[in-house]
Amino acid sequence: MSMLDKMLERYYASRLNTLAVTAACLGVLGGLIRIFWFTPIDSYQGVVQKIFYIHLPCAIGAFTAFFGVFVASIAFLAVRKDVFDDLASSLAEVGVACCSLVLITGPIWAKPAWGAYWTWDNRLTTTLILWVLYVGYLLLRHLSLESEQGKRAAAVLGIIAFLDVPIVRMSVKWWRSIHPSVLSGQKGTGLDRPMVETLWISLLTFLFFFAVLLVERFALARAKTLLKKVRMQMEVC
Amino acid sequence: MSTLTATLALVQRDFMVEARSKEIFIPLGLFCLVLLLLFVFSLSPLPDQSRQLFPALYLTLLALSGILALEKAIERERRDDGLYGIVVSPVGLSSLYLGKTFSTLAFLFVVGIVSIPVFIAFLGLSLSWLQLLWIVWVEMLFLFGFSALGTIMTLLSWNVRARHVLLAVLLYPLMIPPLLASSSLMRQGLNGRFEMGSGWGSLLVGFDLLYFGMGLLLIEHVLEE
């Protein structure tokens, strides 16, 4: 049993999970109330700009999760412990969920802002490629029937697929793009103070929600792996 | 046995097997021709459009044929237990990767070169020798990245159900940046600009080296058993 397993055991034994799930759901609900009722409407784009407060945390969540897959895959290939494989698969699922939300909220925002749901802009296209790659990653895991070779193949793919993330991040700078570069490193975001506050609240609540989701998914994956091991030991006996 | 000798031996072996079986060159060439006919008939490009269309069409057809070449090469190894034989032989895994990458590159390169006159004839293009050489150079760079990544991806999906579909799903998205760069470089060449130092040139070479390096680094994890 790894250290992470012991931590998970304590986490569930102390019923902290119930508290975390409740807090995460209430946090997201509170964040949505703040976004739709207590944040000023953008004078230029109107009410549709509010989707930005959901779109950005999802994008950050997706990129963070995919980076996690990359690190967990390297760790799995280095030490060959199932815990890292389970972590990579859980992170990939959360990442794909976040990336799907990015691809859903983006076009909803794009229609009134750019006049079309989808344009073959570099940022949009590279994000779609990223989504396809990680869906392919999950498909590979599913089709390899959780064999040892399948786990290794998934880890290798987890490393190679991450190459697309810097391209998505830098696409706005490398090529001409109509997509705004929000986290460009330049001073100021062009948002009013209440809007910036909402953005921070939304970032924290959504990322906390994704983190709780990850812990739940990871715990499930660990339980499945440990159960499989017990079953194999029983078969040997 | 040094890595270079082993690699050359593997490439030579692939060519000898191909010379006997003729499983890759002829079917691939015909497939390319059929696809070209389909595209030309469905798009019916005007003469001035053909010039703009050529790079994307040519590279897409190479990428589509390339996946067939990769699958065919691995299918052959699967049928004869050839891969197992190579893995247990004194030839290192890096030599196996290099050999497979370079033989795929050579097969596709020849198919690409042979297809150029057909493209020129069907699309009614008039190209200078310099433009032709530029196209061949960019094609080689594109195919190098394709073979490097394709080989590792094919070996990755070796024992997976529905591997044919999965290979396409995994390989093509990763090949989009090199395809974009190659297509832009070819278009620049057709307009009389032959610059490798541009952003597209660096992007293409960068991705080639990245995929090749990744393949060399990860092959041992892919073919461990």
Q: Confirm whether pTM is higher than 0.90.
A: no
Mutate to test the interface with A, among B174, B179, B200, B214 (most CBs of A within 10 A): B174
Of the candidates B152, B157, B173, the beta carbon closest to that of A129 is on: B173
A196: domain CATH number?
1.20.120
In this complex, is the C-beta atom of B169 within 8 Å of any C-beta atom belonging to chain A? yes
Tell me if ipTM is over 0.90. Answer: no
Is the Cβ pair A139, B222 closer than 8 Å? no
- What distance in Å separates the CA atoms of residue A178 and residue A173, rounded to the nearest whole number? 11
Are A58 and A101 a contacting pair, CB within 8 Å? yes
The SS3 assignment for B45 reads: coil
- Inter-helix orientation angle A82-114/A122-143, to 10°: 150
Q: What percent of chain B is modeled with pLDDT above 90?
A: 28
Number of domains observed in the structure of chain A: 1
Residues of chain A in contact with residue B224, where contact means CB-CB under 8 angstroms, are: 149, 152
Q: Whole-angstrom Cα distance, residue B142 to residue B182?
A: 6
Smallest Cβ–Cβ distance between B176 and the set A129, A135, A136 belongs to: A129
Whether A179 contacts A172, CB under 8 Å: yes
Q: How confident is the model at residue A55 (pLDDT cuts 50, 70, 90)?
A: very high
Answer whether residue A171 shows pLDDT above 80.
Answer: no
Does B162 contact chain A (CB < 8 Å)? yes
Contact A134/A99 with Cβ under 8 angstroms?
A: yes
- Chain B contact probe: residue of A146, A152, A171, A176 with most B CBs at under 10 A: A152
pLDDT of the residue at A185: 47
Of the candidates B152, B176, B225, which has its C-beta nearest A149's C-beta? B225
Chain A: nearest CA to B22, how far in angstroms?
Answer: 31
pLDDT one-digit tens code per residue, A194-227: 888 899 999 999 999 999 999 999 999 999 888 9
Residue A71 is part of which domain span? 3-236
Residue A170 pLDDT level (bands cut at 50, 70, 90): low
Which residues, other chains included, contact A183 with Cβ-Cβ below 8 Å and sequence gap of 6+?
none
pLDDT score recorded for residue B20: 86
pLDDT in tens, A96-131: 999 999 999 988 888 888 888 888 777 788 888 889
Any CB–CB contact under 8 A between B209 and chain A? Answer: no
Between chain A and chain B, the number of residue pairs with CB atoms below 8 A apart is: 71
* Mean of the per-residue pLDDT values of chain B: 87
Q: Where do the domains of chain B lie? A: 3-222
Q: Which of B159, B174, B221 sits opposite A156 (nearest CB)?
A: B221
**pLDDT at B79 exceeding the cut of 80:** no
Q: What is the mean pLDDT of chain A?
A: 86
Res B58: pLDDT: 92
Quote the minimal CA–CA distance from A169 to chain B in Å.
Answer: 14
**What's the pLDDT score for residue A188?**
53
Mean per-residue pLDDT, B120-142: 91
pLDDT at A95: 96
- Residue bearing the bigger pLDDT, A92 or B126: A92
Average pLDDT over residues A136-165: 85
- Which of chain A's residues have a Cβ under 8 Å away from the Cβ of B159? 144, 147, 149-150
Residue among A73, A140, A176 with most chain B CBs within 10 A, to mutate: A140
pLDDT score at A175? 62
SS3 A46: strand
CA-based nearest distance B176→chain A, Å = 8
| CA-based nearest residue in chain A for residue B167 | A136
**B174 at interface of A, judged by CB pairs closer than 8 A:** yes
Band (A190; pLDDT cuts 50, 70, 90): low
**Contact between chains at A77 and B222 (C-beta distance less than 8 A):** no
- pLDDT > 70: what percent of chain A? 89
Q: By mean pLDDT, which of A45-49, A207-211, B85-89, B180-184 is the weakest?
A: B85-89
* Most confidently predicted of A120-124, A181-185, A220-224, B196-200: A220-224
Q: How far is A68 from chain B (nearest CA, A)?
A: 19
Q: Which long-range contacts (CB under 8 A, 24 or more apart) does B17-24 make?
A: B17/B76, B18/B107, B21/B76, B23/B72, B23/B76, B24/B69, B24/B72, B24/B73, B24/B107
pLDDT of residue A176: 61
* Spatial CA neighbour of A92 closest among A162, A153, A175: A162
Rounded to 5 degrees, what angle do the CA atoms A186, A190, A191 make? Answer: 130
Residue of A73, A137, A148, A149 best to disrupt the B interface, most CBs of B under 10 A = A149
pLDDT tens track for B26-61: 888 888 889 888 888 888 887 778 888 899 999 999
Mean pLDDT of B3-9: 86
Partner-chain contact B152 A163, CB within 8 Å:
no
